[in-house]
Amino acid sequence: MTRLVLPFVLFFLCGRATASPVDPPTVTSRRVQPLLGVGRLPVPSETVPVTAEALFDDTGKVQEIQIEINTKDWAALKENYLANTYYPADLRWNGQVVRNIGVRSRGTSTRSPEKPSLRIDFNRYTTGQTFLGLKSLLVKNNLTDPSSMHERIAMQFFQRMGIQTSREASVRLVVNGVYDGLYTLVEAPDQDFVQRTLGESDGYLYKFDRNFGDEPYYFEYLGADPASYVPHHWQPQTHASDPHPEPIVEMIRIATQSSGSAFPTDIGHYLDLVAVVRHVAIENYLAEPDGFLGGAGMNNFYIYRLENRLLHVLIPWDKSETFRDGPAFDILNGIENIPDSRQNRLWARIWQFAELRRVYFDTLLECATSASALVEGDTRTWMEREIDREFEQIKADVQLDPQTPYFFQDFLAGVDAMRAFAAARAEYVRTEVARRRH
């Protein structure tokens, strides 16, 4: 696809871009240092704290990480983008360098040979190595999102609603001294993440893993054999050699077989039902078609079993598809008016209880209040303000992105669609709650 490469070329050849819808970033004189002896990379001109918090700080300019990798390895990674082959590299951020890291292509349906999403493992080749206390980082290509903002704003909204999520920030990726495009930097859900968010890390963390081409899964009980559940669909992220899947099997059995009135008490040992209901309500407020009640089955979450307990905690993941279906997205998506064969078995039990339905509708109204919050002297809601802030932050880097599959006009249209969502969603949800609550 033809892209907006002319402004990119002229900007670097002439020191300024030709006329365009946005002003390109200002170039300042900066000293350079070699990395790995190959190429020369810019060193930031200002001093910023060297911490993980600073790495994920999205309140100022777009972050930049630089990777030095053998050019043949980089070409091989792109050519074999469907494989999980690791390649050695070095990484630099804010003048700090971590050497001999592992880099591979990642993702399910969004893998790309031109703009691959990346997993960066700091301890792949050097046992115990970390960077800023992190064992790994994820770099997402936003391939299905022309606005490049769905993921960030959705995760920020979960946090506003009291749900812990991975930290995220937009990031410029520079490979071998050349700008490779705008990505989203994501904190990996791992032991460090659960320690930071839950205050412990020795429990059992699983990713709900739906591979491309899998049949939809709706929380069905598949029998007593743990191998029917772990490692697929419930992929261990910790304790891989002894994933202790029995509580997952029992949780699903109870969800589908526990007798009527005993269900909340029985399943309550394994899941906080109020937390599950709030999680689903937030997803539906954000128009998530590919989440816990996804139309093609469950998807996009992690689950963590607390230390020495049976209780599991839901962790949101991968919200790139949010917002896409517009402000009139059904507030009962995946709940009503679907065939029994496509109903989430756990949710079908939850929906039988009036007090849990009340939590669901109350959470939708709480979402509407939070998303539409105003500040003095500004007529824009919180979500509108956040969209405008992120737009101003990333627009120049989007325009100069040499690997994006979109035209710049697609980006602008994507941002306008998000603004329309933010302007209309809260009132639509309030109206629908009043009409459909029961």
pLDDT-based confidence at residue 12 (cuts at 50, 70, 90): very low
- Higher local confidence (pLDDT), 48 or 215: 215
pLDDT-based confidence at residue 46 (cuts at 50, 70, 90): low
35 pLDDT more than 90: no
pLDDT at position 36 is: 36
Mean of the pLDDT values across residues 193-206? 97
Query: How confident is the model over 212-232, as pLDDT tens digits?
Result: 889 999 999 999 999 999 999
pLDDT at position 42 is: 44
Mean of the pLDDT values across residues 396-404? 97
pLDDT at position 48 is: 64
- What stretches of 240-320 show up as alpha helix (H) in DSSP? 246-257, 263-268, 273-285
Query: How confident is the model over 283-299, as pLDDT tens digits?
Result: 999 999 999 999 899 99
pLDDT-based confidence at residue 107 (cuts at 50, 70, 90): very high
Rg of the chain's alpha carbons, rounded to an integer? 23
Q: Which residues contact 2 (CB under 8 A, 6 or more apart)?
A: none
Global pTM reads 0.89
What is residue 365's three-state secondary structure? helix
For residues 134 and 73, what is the distance between their CA atoms, to the nearest angstrom?
24
pLDDT at position 15 is: 39
Mean of the pLDDT values across residues 376-394? 98
pLDDT at position 47 is: 61
- Mean confidence (pLDDT) of the chain: 90
pLDDT at position 30 is: 30
Provide, rounded to the nearest whole percent, the portion of the chain with pLDDT above 70.
Answer: 89
Quote the distance between the C-alpha of residue 411 and its chain's center. Answer: 19
Provide, rounded to the nearest whole percent, the portion of the chain with pLDDT above 90.
Answer: 86
Mean of the pLDDT values across residues 173-193? 97
Query: Across 289-371, where does the E strand assignment appear?
Result: 301-305, 312-316
Q: Which residues contact 232 (CB under 8 A, 6 or more apart)?
A: 209, 211
Quote the distance between the C-alpha of residue 10 and its chain's center. Answer: 34
Lowest mean pLDDT among 47-51, 248-252, 269-273, 395-399: 47-51
pLDDT at position 337 is: 83
Asked if residues 149 and 422 have their Cβ atoms less than 8 Å apart, the reply is no
pLDDT-based confidence at residue 18 (cuts at 50, 70, 90): very low
pLDDT at position 213 is: 85
pLDDT at position 22 is: 37
CA distances from 306 to 151, 199, 200, 201, 303 (A): 27, 10, 8, 8, 10
pLDDT-based confidence at residue 249 (cuts at 50, 70, 90): very high
* Gap between the terminal Cα atoms of the chain: 50
Read off the tokens for 158.
Answer: 């979960």
pLDDT-based confidence at residue 211 (cuts at 50, 70, 90): confident
Query: How confident is the model over 53-99, as pLDDT tens digits?
Result: 999 999 999 999 999 999 999 999 999 999 999 999 999 999 999 99
